[in-house]
Amino acid sequence: MIVNDVSLRFFSNLLRMKNRFWLFLFFLFASNTLCAQDIPVSVNYSKVYDFVDELATDGLFELNSAVKPYSREFIAAKLLEAQAQIDVLNHRQRDELRFYLNEFALERNELPSTRLNLVQNATTSLSFLQPAVHYKDDILRARLTPILGMTISRNSNGVLTNRWYGAEFQAMMGKHLSVFGSLRDISMAGPVVGGVFMARLSGPSYLNDLPGYQYKEATYGGDFSDSRGGVKYGWKWGSLGLVKENVVWGDNNHGSNILSGRTPSFPMLTLRLSPSNWFEMNYIHGWLVSNVIDSSQHYTNNIGTQSYRMKNKFIAANFFTITPLKNLKFSFGNSIIYAEQNVQAAYLIPIGFYKSMDHTMTKGLALENQNSQLFLNVSSRNIKHLHLYASVYADEIMFSRFSPSSPDKNPISYKAGARLVNFPISNLSLVGEFTHNNIICYKHTVPALTWASNSYNLGSYLGDNSEEIYLALKYKPLRGLDVTLTYLNAVHAGEYAYINRDNDGVNVITKIISQPQVGSGAKPTWTNQTISLGAQYELFNNAYATVNVSMSDIKGYDNANVNPVVGEYVATSQAYLDRFTPRYLQGKQTTISVGFSLGF
């Protein structure tokens, strides 16, 4: 080998770098022996996620379903694993498999099979069905797809329409680099009843699982845009990226209690490492939206008016998954929400225990700690056709509080569920899930440190002091058609602010966490019982027709005469309804919705 003087000086300087991490990245990125791209599949593409989960639960391959989104290449690899066992699939699953293999054709280095093509040659496909442009050569594989759709809903309050349009672009460059982005412009319009505009069904305080958005100034309804995208460098056993995307951590079938992905997407650094089939690490460092004014930071315009800025808010979180036995996965991790002026280097360490780091940086001045959390998830597919799972989110733990005699309860959330597929009846699945959230488990005494972004809870959509039973029966009679019957029973008990001490210096937090919790004698302030029957048909890739009928009974309860503790929210039944439920869905309603969409 011939090495010139310039190369020797370069490597000599590199080896003398104090931070060996950059040396590691150099050799990692310079490697040409490993090849992979990492374009995330939107968690809103629920049908493909459901199919991959079904195949894993049927025992065709192993799956870490506690961390989403999956990459397109990952899903393509799992579909190919299923194709190698096609003889064990039923007729509908074989049709589904062929359908999704076509969707992920570029990841298999092929152009997809399409209909009504305007252009079709060795490198380019321009088609009407599915509407898309696909391109493939030795360096670049790319797709451009439109996004278009509308849903119309009707109940006793009138007609509500939701329309959206946009486009999505994805590109795989060379062996390692991925670039992707999407833009959706969304508008909701609805009736005005009693002077109240009813179009906005999603809001930070609303206890429903609809995606969260940052609305524009539109009094008639809800206008908002959703832009996602990123760039990732991938290799065979990992990836590193800068993305703006939705992330879900924790196994679930009706909303995770750890990271639910419901908040508006936020920018983040991502790192995934899976060097062995028994170990995987996922890490994010995100820039959240605090919605809290920083009075020390402002702009001044040319007429002297000051415009204040928001406080910085960041999240660092890691999640480790270990597989001690085939199909048995234990995941654990921790996170911190911090609101410093700048990014803290300690929280860029992927394997850090952030609570300890926080104490090192804040205890010396007796400062208020940042907000740290612990996670745990267990997933078992050891029984064929059955997926058992459970997850725990813990904001704070004192073991003495677990004693039955202790009036104080730890601010934690836990979820347990099961999904049975294709047994005893083929193409039929049954889901049962239970969620319990203790008092103030997602809150903090400092508003900028809550477990939230854009004021939407990062975890369970029900927030704290809530409980939910969720049941679902899904039948798939043929490729692309899902018929689903669901039952939801959700309860929210007392609403409390996180207050450490009152004006006299008396400890308040102990009073709050010793109050009756939901499911343990606490009176409800809000309940939701809903039965829904819906059908969804995927005509061709990413094109859906949907119809849904929901019968709901959503109530608020008056606690105005109760003697409150400090920090307790006391309100009438209507005030609770207005706080937790959009006016369009309050009370007893039968809501019928029909829709069609291209993309998401």
Q: Which residues, including other chains, have CB under 8 Å from residue 583's CB and lie 6 or more apart?
A: 157, 193, 196, 198
pLDDT digits (tens, 9 = 90+) for 304-325: 777 778 899 999 999 999 999 9
333 close to 320: Cβ distance less than 8 angstroms: yes
- Domain coordinates of the chain in residue numbers? 35-104+139-296+310-598
- Spatial CA neighbour of 423 closest among 373, 390, 451, 381: 381
- Spatial CA neighbour of 97 closest among 75, 116, 114, 115: 75
Which residue do the tokens 């995934």 mark?
Answer: 272
- The CA distances from residue 198 to 187, 194, 225, 431, 583, in Å, are 13, 10, 19, 32, 6
Instruction: Band the pLDDT of 18: cuts 50, 70, 90.
Output: very low
CATH 2.40.160.130 fits 35-104+139-296+310-598, yes or no: yes
Q: Which tokens in the block code for residue 471?
A: 């049941």
pLDDT digits (tens, 9 = 90+) for 428-466: 999 999 999 999 999 999 999 999 999 999 999 999 999
- Spatial CA neighbour of 333 closest among 281, 276, 411: 281
- The CA distances from residue 192 to 133, 514, 556, in Å, are 41, 42, 21
555 close to 579: Cβ distance less than 8 angstroms: no
Give kind and range of the element (H or E) at residue 586: none
pLDDT digits (tens, 9 = 90+) for 158-216: 999 999 999 999 999 999 999 999 999 999 888 887 777 888 899 999 999 999 988 87
Say if residue 130 is preceded by a cis peptide, omega within 30 of 0.
Answer: yes
Start-to-end C-alpha separation, the chain: 53
Q: What's the whole-number mean pLDDT along residues 39-52?
A: 92
Which pLDDT belongs to residue 524?
A: 94
pTM: 0.91
Q: Which residues, including other chains, have CB under 8 Å from residue 369's CB and lie 6 or more apart?
A: 358, 359, 362, 363
Q: Is 77 helix (H, G, I), strand (E, B) or coil?
A: helix
pLDDT digits (tens, 9 = 90+) for 215-269: 876 666 778 889 999 999 999 999 999 999 999 999 999 999 999 999 999 999 9
Measured CA to CA, the distance from residue 511 to residue 507 in angstroms comes to 7
The answer on pLDDT for 386 being more than 50 is yes
Measured CA to CA, the distance from residue 498 to residue 450 in angstroms comes to 10
Measured CA to CA, the distance from residue 105 to residue 458 in angstroms comes to 34
pLDDT digits (tens, 9 = 90+) for 462-510: 999 999 999 999 999 999 999 999 999 999 999 999 887 766 666 788 8
